[in-house]
Amino acid sequence: MSDFLELIVSNKIKMSLAEIIFWFSILSIGIVYGGYFLLCQYIVSYRKLDVRSDPDYEPTISLIIPTWNEENTIKGKLENTLDLEYPKDKLEVLIIDDGSNDKTVEIVKGFIKNHRNFKLLKLKERRGKAVALNRALRYSNGEIIVITDSDSRLNKNILNVSIPYFADQRVGALTGRHVVLGDRDSDMSIIEIEYRNLYHMIRHAESILDSTFIFNGPFTAFRKTLISRIYNDSVADDSEIALRIRQKGYRTIHVDDAIFWEFAASSMQERTKQKYRRAQGLIQLFLRFFKVFFFNRNYGLFGMLIFPIEFFMHVISPFLILLFFLTFFSLHIHVALILLTALLLLSIMSKSRYIIITFLHSQYSCLKGLFTYIFRGPSYSWEKIEGTRRYKQ
């Protein structure tokens, strides 16, 4: 009899602990995400970016395009780069090839014959994007470095609307706005569009408050004097650049009018691969720069608010989501049914459905990326996402 009573008591304790974990998880996520979202919405609605932009400021630029087996996209990228509205005598274009074994190099050589400000650099074998970028940085001559991916397309005025912000000596780096290409009514495009709408609102608000460091790889610009090379093991080179420049006391901002285009992944499998690799890179940076920024008042709102919140969203929150699902069915059945019904009702609403999918998918990618980084280490070579390369040659 006493053994039976002990079993009942122990089960009640386990159930009680599970309930505590469940409610702690859901409340923490709700308060942090909800509070930060409302704050960012308020900031972008009532405050402006306090950075000076001088349209007459035209520094020399080195635009770097890293490639690896991009025979289907590189010609279009080079033509897009040629159309950029910026003085040609102040713009050099460096194509750095990371050991391609297709026709990428051949296509580039044919194109640059007629364009003196385009140059080709090659690595004999594949070393990874970070190593390739370091080679290009070594040969760059511009005051401002711009890094752009070959599977993206830049608005022809992107340099004219973004580079003038460097006239403000407080600005060390900046990024732009990603607009999704392709069928905007497809599920994958809608998911990416909803994700990007929230993403850009938060990045713009962070820039107004202080700085943002979640940069966009297709367009990253920075002062050459601040970064001469990146870590060879870098996976998220764009965000690494932003963090290192913010560490030096400069602001790193999102310019909403600096527009570039890129296709969304064509399937959820491709999107998972894309976001999972990105998550690995960000987690690497969170761990590397944790002691530098986390609740460090020397970095103002960036150290006291922005970096800690982003750390929560990318590292802590995925674990809380996992705990949420693990403890969900330990709740009393009527509570579980109420929550499940509420979630189903939200998912019926079209916009809410995509937001929920985007959130859960991002959390899954971060959790997978964290476990991979801890147990296997990061992958330094980039893997192409074919769905983002649907350009017609």
Residue 55 pLDDT greater than 90, yes or no: yes
**Residue labelled with tokens 């370091």:** 134
pLDDT digits (tens, 9 = 90+) for 59-102: 999 999 999 999 999 999 999 999 999 999 999 999 999 999 99
Per the domain annotation, does 283 fall within a domain?
Answer: yes
pLDDT at position 291 over 90: yes
At residue 350, the pLDDT reads 54
DSSP 226: G
- Residue 344's pLDDT is 59
9: in domain: no
pLDDT tens-digit map of 188-229:
777 777 788 889 999 999 999 999 999 988 999 999 999 999
pLDDT at 381 over 60: no
Query: Would the pLDDT of 8 be above 50?
Result: no
Residue 67: its pLDDT value, please? 95
Lowest average pLDDT, out of 12-26, 114-128, 186-200, goes to 12-26
Question: What is the percent of the chain where pLDDT is above 70?
Answer: 84
Give a yes or no: residue 2 inside a domain: no
Percent of the chain, pLDDT > 90? 62
Structural domain boundaries, residue 225:
18-393
Tell me how far apart the alpha carbons of residues 208 and 212 are, in angstroms, rounded to a whole number: 9
Q: Mean pLDDT throughout 45-65?
A: 96
Residue 351's pLDDT is what? 58
Reported as a pLDDT band with limits 50, 70 and 90, residue 4 is very low
CATH of the domain at 42: 3.90.550.10
Q: Indicate whether 130 belongs to any domain.
A: yes
Is 33 domain-assigned? yes
Q: How many domains does the chain have?
A: 1
In a domain? residue 8: no
Q: Is residue 303, in this structure, part of any structural domain at all?
A: yes
Tell me whether residue 104 is in a domain.
Answer: yes
